[in-house]
A = this chain, B = another copy of it.
Amino acid sequence: MSHNIATGEMRIGDLARRAEVTPRTLRYYESLGLLQPAARRSGGFRLYDEAAVRRLARIRQLKELLGFSLDEVREILRSEDAVQEIRARYLGTEDAGVRAQLLRQALERAGAQRELVRRKLAGLQAMDDEIAERQARIRQLLQQSTGAGGRQE
């Protein structure tokens, strides 16, 4: 059994198939400090869990969708990991003052991340608008043309 459904543990090939990447890619990501296996089996086999599946999906999203380099992805993940740490500390304290402080930190990080995404988004929006405008102009010409020239079809 290569894939223990109950514990969610899987070997490198299983994870690779699930994420549609090659094992080589996963080893490479590991070497860059992007994705660590949850454990190693006695023989040396890497073992991954469900958290790894999610993290890998995130990596691919950042790389493919947003076009970040793996170096940038590492920085972003580092930041996200920090948020998780803040969350853990938040859950670990009862002190309202400390809690509020931690929340503010998390908020700040989320804000920074959003900034990044919104910049890309704005550029894309502008492009979309531009194309839409062009389409509208052409459509209008087409209307005039087929309207004036006697409608066809």
Give residues in A with beta carbon < 8 Å to B.
61, 65-67, 96-97, 99-100, 103-104, 106-107, 110-111, 113-114, 117-118, 120-121, 123-125, 127-128, 131-132, 134-135, 138-139, 141-142, 145-146, 148-150, 152
Copies in the complex: 2
A97 to B148, CA, bound (A): 11
Judging by beta carbons under 8 Å apart, are B97 and A149 in contact? yes
A150 to B95, CA, bound (A): 12
Main secondary structure of the interface of A (DSSP, over half): helix
A97 to B121, CA, bound (A): 39
| A145-B100, A149-B96, A149-B100 known; A65 vs B123 contact (CB < 8 Å) | yes
